[in-house]
Structure 1
Amino acid sequence: MKKWLVLFILLVGLAGCNQSKDTLDSLRVAEVTRSIFYAPLYVAIEKGFFKEEGLTIDLQTTWGGDKTMTALLSDGADIALVGSETSIYVYAQGADDPVINFAQLTQTDGTFLVSRTQMEEFTWEKLKGTTFLGQRKGGMPQMVGEFVLKKNGIDPHNDLKMIQNVDFANIPNAFASGTGEFVQLFEPQASMFEQQGIGYIVASFGIESGHIPYTTFMAKESTINEREQAIEKFTRAIYKGQQWVYERDASEIAKVIQPFFEETELKLIEVVIERYKNQKSFAEDPILDEQEWENLQNIMDEAGELPERVDYEKIVNTNFAKKVSE
C-alpha cells in the first residue's frame, strides 16, 4: 500500500475519532449555591436529559450572587443559575452586553418562617414584640421576608426587633444558640430543625409572596446570539427535568438527586422535595411570565432595592422556553 494512502487512512481515522469526541456540545453552568431547591436541574443531569440533547454540562457552585455574576460576566461560565434581581442590577449599571433571563427554574421564594416554640394556631400578629432573625439586607430572601411581613400588617422595623447583620452561613447556628424567637430559613435547615426539636415551621414565605422568578438561568446576550442551538437544547433538557419532577413522587426524586447531597439523609431530602412540590416552588415549565417579573420588581421596589424598573422584554427572552414547552 502506498505511503500516501496509509497516511490518508490514518488521517481519516483520526478525524473520525475527533468527530465522535466532539459530538457533545459543552456548556459551563455556575449555580449560586447547591440546594435541593434546584432539584429539576440535578434530575436533568442524572437522568441524562442533557446528553439526550447532545450536551455535556460542567456544573460549578460559585456560592453567592456576586461571585456567580462575576463568573458569567468574565466568561468563566456560559450560563448562570441565580436570582433574577442580579440581571436587573447589571442592566442598571449600563452593561453593553446585558444578561438575559431565558429559563426559569424556581417560581417562589424558598424560605420558611421557623418558630422556637410549637404553635398550633399561628398568626403573623405573634411576631410583634419579638426578635426576628432575618436574612442578609439587600438579598432577595430578606426583601421577600420584609414584603411578607408588611403584607401581613407587620412593620419590620418598628413592630419587632429585626436582626439582619448575621452572615448567611451562620444564621442557623445563631438561632440554635438562642438568638431570636423566629428565624427565616432555607431548606433543608428548616426541616432539620424540626427533626431536632430546635424550631418549628409555621409559615412559608414562598406561599405568602406568590410567584416570582426566584431563580433563573441566564446568559449574556452575546452568548445567546452566538449559541442559540445550545441554549435551546439546554432549555429543553431543563423542561424534561421539570416534567419528571412533577410526574414522580418525592422518594424517587430524592434517590436520583442524592449524589449531589451525599451528607444529607435521604429521608430529609424527601421531606424537603415534598414541601417544595406541594407549594409548587419548582417551576412547572421554563417560561418566565410578565406578571412574575412585575411581582419581582414590586418586591424589590418595596424594599428600596430596585435601581430602576426594567421592561420585561429588555432582559427576558422566552423564545426558547415557549418553543420547548409546546
Structure 2
Amino acid sequence: MKKWMKPGVLLFISLVLIIPLAACGKEKTETIRVAEVTRSIFYAPLYAALTEGFFEEEGLTIDLKTVWGGDKVMTSLISDGADIGLVGSETSIYVYAAGTSDPVINFGQLTQTDGTFLVSRNEVEDFTWDHLKGSTFLGQRKGGMPQMVGEFVLKKHGIDPHADLNLIQNVDFANITSAFASGTGDYVQLFEPQASIFEKEGRGHIVASFGTESGHVPYTTFMAKQSYMDANEESIEKFTKALYKAQQWVDSTNSKEIAEAVQPFFEDTDIEILEMAVDRYKSQGSFATDPILDEAEWNNLQDIMDEAGELPKEVRHDELVNTKIAEEVIK
C-alpha cells in the first residue's frame, strides 16, 4: 500500500491543477485602442461606458488616449496607431476625397449637435449676435467642425465671419483655452466643462450655444478603417453594444449621477461644474440616444461644410457610413 504524500507536496499538486482550470474559466478580454479628439464632458456617454462597466460586460478593454485635434486622430487611424477614432465625421470625408483604398467608416454616432458655447470676455446684457460685429473672435481650426458650425451659425444671423470680425484661426486646438485666458480675443468658442470653468472663475460669460443654433449634425462619431472593420466585425459589434447601453443610461439618468460617474476623467473639475455642463448638453439634446448616423444628419453636415467652403466633394451616406451594426444592436 502506498504511503500518503506529505501535505506540502499535496498542496503544490492541487495548485498546479487548479490554477490552469481557473484560467480556462476566465473570459478573455480584447483591448481596443481609441483616440479621442479632445477631453470634454461632451463625450460623457463614452466615459460612462467605461466607468459603469459596459465595455467590460462585452469583454472589451479600452485603451483611451486624447490626441487633441481631428487631423491627429485621423493620422493615428491611418498609421495604425489607433483602432477606433472619436472625431467629427468631416475628417472621414477629407480622407475619402483625397483618394484612399481603405476609407474610414463612421459606425457609431456619439453626439448629434455642436458642443461649443459662445463665451464673451466681458459680461453682455441682452446679448444679440450683432454684438460680435467688429469684435476679435478666437475661432477654431479651419476645416474642423467647431469652426464650420460656428461660421454656419454666424452667417445664419447675418454676420460674415471673415468681413465683420477680426477672426483668429492660427491658434492650435489644444491652446485655444489658454490663449483666451491670457487675453486673446473678445469672444471664443469653447467646449464644456471649460466654458463653465471660465464663467465660474470670472474669466468669461456664456452668452449663446452653437448647438441649439445649428440643428442635428453628426458632430462626433466613432470610426475605423474599412480594413479594421472587416477583420474585426465581432469587436465592432461589441463596442457598439457597449456604446448603446451607455447612451441609454445617460438618457435615463439625472445629471448629478452622470457627473459623478464621469468625474474620474475630470479630476481637477468641481462636481458642480460637471453637473452643470452635463445638464446643458442634455437640455439641448447633444447626446445621441442611439449610435445610428442617419442620412438627414449626414446631408446637414455636408451643407455646413459646403457653406464654409470646405466640402471637397459630395459623398453619399452609404459610402462612408455603416448603420447596419447599430441597427442590429438596437434590435
- 2-side partners of 1:137 and 1:112: how far apart? 17
Residue pairs, 1:147-296, within 5 angstroms: 147-296=152-301
Larger Rg: 2
Mapping of residues 76-115 of structure 1, within 5 Å: 76-115=81-120
The gaps in structure 2 that reach 5 residues or longer are 1-13
Identify the residue that residue 66 of structure 1 maps to in structure 2: 71
Secondary structure at the residue paired with 2:281?
A: helix
* Aligned length in residues: 319
CA distance in 2 between counterparts of 1:168 and 1:31 reads 13
One-letter amino acid matched to 2:139: G
Equivalent residue number for residue 23 of structure 1: 28
Alpha carbons of 1:76 and 1:148: their partners in 2 closer, same or farther (altered >3 Å)? same
Letter in 2 for 1:300: M
Identity of aligned residues (%): 68
Indicate the RMSD between aligned Cα atoms, in angstroms. 2.1
Distance 1:70 1:165, change over 3 A: closer
Distance 1:106 1:293 in 2: 13
Q: Which runs of 5+ in 1 are unaligned?
A: 1-8
Deviation at 1:143, TM superposition (A): 1.0
Partner of residue 116, structure 1? 121
Is the alpha carbon distance of 1:18 and 1:71 closer, same or farther for their aligned partners in structure 2, counting shifts above 3 Å? farther
- Alignment partner for residue 45 of structure 2, among 40, 44, 51? 40
- In structure 2, give the amino acid aligned to 1:156: P
Q: Distance in 1 between matches of 2:129 and 2:258?
A: 33
What one-letter code is carried by the residue in structure 1 that aligns with 2:77?
Answer: L
Do 2:83 and 2:224's aligned partners in 1 also have CA atoms closer than 8 Å? yes
Residue 118 of structure 1, CA deviation: 2.4
User: What amino acid sits opposite 2:286 in the alignment?
Assistant: S
Select the residue among 44, 57, 72 that pairs with 1:52.
57
Distance 2:24 2:81 in 1: 25
**TM-score (structure 2 length as normaliser):** 0.90
Q: 1:169 to 1:77 in 2, by over 3 A?
A: closer
Post-superposition Cα deviations, 1:15-39, rounded to whole Å, max 9, x if no partner, equal 7566445622332222122221111
Q: Under a length normalisation based on structure 1, what TM-score does the superposition of the two structures give?
A: 0.91
Comparing 287-296 with 155-164, greater Cα deviation is found at 155-164
Deviation digits for residues 120-146 of structure 1 (CA, Å, limit 9, x no counterpart): 422111211222221122222111111
Q: Structure 2 counterpart of 1:132, which letter?
A: F
Counterpart of 1:320 (choices 284, 307, 325) is 325
